[in-house]
Amino acid sequence: MSTRFHCLEDFRTEARSRLPRLMFDFIDGAAGSEYAACKNIETLDRIRLLPRVLVNVAERSLKKTFLGKEWGLPFGIAPMGMCDLAWAGTDKALAKAAVQHNIPLCHSIAASSSLEVTLDRARVNAWFQLYVGASLERAWEHVKRAQDAGYEVLILTVDVPQVAQRIRDLRNGFKVPFRTGPRQFLDFAQHPRWVLETLMAGVPRTANFDDTNPAALYGTASNGFIREETRGKVDWTFLQQLRDRWTGKLIVKGVLAPQDASRIQEAGADAIYVSNHGGRQLDSAPPAVTQLPLIREAVGTDYPLLFDSGIRNGESVVKALALGADFVMLGRPFLFASGAYGERGVMRLVELLTDEVSLTLAQLGCKSVEELERNMIIEN
């Protein structure tokens, strides 16, 4: 295993040099001035943990029970569309890591692999994530397809009524329809290895849609995936209908308001996924971590909560768990790891986070992640 990567920033730096700017910025970027994305990380960094001593912590367990299953680690892989843009084979590498480490992998409806292929690769570790686009009919088709394929967990993402303005993407020309003008051509020419490997693997497409236009990274045909189309039709009625139809576990992702959390809980969702989409949607949104304890308070101690947005190391995983999350997800870090070093990078990232969580537990006098509590956080 490579020892070149000692923290997330090592992966990010390497990915920045290996990826065309268009792709790196698509992953790294966020909405507007990117204030929300920065604040997610900064707020987590500023939270202080209180070390405890004289507890025998020679043996520590990172196993975590969530939604009726025991997981190998308390963190997993957030849903992300078009992961193979980070590096050819990323979806496959993520599935491999999910199985090897027994962690959940959220398969985005906008993924580069089909939902059936991901399920085949990651089996019970794969969860299906749904966006509701302009056609409700098509959303129901995807729900049925996921159910028929055998998915046991569905995540309904509700914080993208419309894709936000991401300034870097606009400047770089990352938009629908995707075109290679002189600017993008120069960018690709400066990153021949990414281009070669991507072309050899086949230009990434949104495989859950009938995207038959090979020149487009995002489908523009009427039956393809249209990134810019409205996703604003998803509402309380849809949630209730989905709850009635989906027989597996149902998670609602992208929740920040305690009032919404209570209503989603009442609607019968099995879990809530607290997130501000990594700052990619509302630049003025609060850091997701500041909403976490408020939502925990609103839904009570036993209701399952997931968390993401801004997690960049094991200490932050521990902080989120102590603040009320039952499980923690990471987005961009997995794409940086793959962009930097492919499958080995993804494996190294999981190893790094595992070590960091374990070391943090030891410092806090905990033998298990199940022992983490709010009083381990220093309030100031």
Contact (CB, 8 A) for 28 and 274: no
Q: How far apart are the first and last CA of the chain?
A: 40
Rule CB under 6 A: say whether 275 interacts with ligand FMN.
Answer: yes
Q: Quick one: which H or E segment has residue 295?
A: helix 288-299
Q: Report cis status (omega within 30 of 0) of the bond before 258.
A: no
Task: List the one residue from 332, 341, 345, 376 that touches ligand FMN (CB under 6 A).
Answer: 332
Q: Nearest to residue 332, comparing CAs of 142, 85, 133, 1?
A: 85
Task: List the one residue from 309, 316, 358, 360 that touches ligand FMN (CB under 6 A).
Answer: 309
Tallying the residues shown for the chain, one arrives at 380
Give the total of residues touching ligand FMN (CB under 6 A): 22
Q: Quick one: which H or E segment has residue 273?
A: strand 271-274
Task: List the one residue from 79, 133, 287, 314 that touches ligand FMN (CB under 6 A).
Answer: 79
What's the closest the beta carbon of residue 332 comes to ligand FMN, in angstroms? 4
Rule CB under 6 A: say whether 112 interacts with ligand FMN.
Answer: no
Contact (CB, 8 A) for 329 and 359: no
Task: List the one residue from 23, 44, 78, 361 that touches ligand FMN (CB under 6 A).
Answer: 78
| Contact positions with ligand FMN (CB under 6 A) in 5-34 | 27
Rule CB under 6 A: say whether 281 interacts with ligand FMN.
Answer: no
- Measured CA to CA, the distance from residue 133 to residue 63 in angstroms comes to 36
Rule CB under 6 A: say whether 91 interacts with ligand FMN.
Answer: no
- Please identify which of the residues 101, 107, 191, 277 carries the catalytic annotation: 277
Rule CB under 6 A: say whether 108 interacts with ligand FMN.
Answer: yes
CA distances from 116 to 54, 147, 163, 212 (A): 50, 11, 26, 18
What's the closest the beta carbon of residue 53 comes to ligand FMN, in angstroms? 32
Q: Nearest to residue 62, comparing CAs of 48, 50, 76?
A: 76
**Stretch of residues binding ligand FMN (CB under 6 A), selected from 49-57, 78-86, 261-269, 294-302:** 78-86
**Stretch of residues binding ligand FMN (CB under 6 A), selected from 50-58, 74-82, 214-222, 339-347:** 74-82
Contact (CB, 8 A) for 234 and 262: no
What's the closest the beta carbon of residue 288 comes to ligand FMN, in angstroms? 8
Place of tokens 């009635």: 244
Tell me if residue 277 is catalytic. Answer: yes
Rule CB under 6 A: say whether 253 interacts with ligand FMN.
Answer: yes
Rule CB under 6 A: say whether 311 interacts with ligand FMN.
Answer: yes
What's the closest the beta carbon of residue 51 comes to ligand FMN, in angstroms? 26
Hey, what are 329's tokens? 């997800």
Rule CB under 6 A: say whether 104 interacts with ligand FMN.
Answer: no
Give the number of C-alpha atoms closer than 13 A to the C-alpha of residue 364, restricted to the C-beta side.
29
- Measured CA to CA, the distance from residue 341 to residue 86 in angstroms comes to 10
| Contact positions with ligand FMN (CB under 6 A) in 38-67 | 40
Rule CB under 6 A: say whether 227 interacts with ligand FMN.
Answer: no
Hey, what are 315's tokens? 């200490």
- Which residue of the chain is nearest ligand FMN when measured via CB? 331
Angle at 224 between CA 30 and CA 126, to 5 degrees: 65
Q: Which is nearer to ligand FMN, 39 or 332 (CB)?
A: 332
Place of tokens 């990567």: 5
Residues near ligand FMN, by CB under 6 A: 27, 40, 78-81, 108, 110, 129, 157, 253, 275, 277-278, 280, 308-311, 330-332
Indicate which residues carry an active-site annotation. Answer: 277
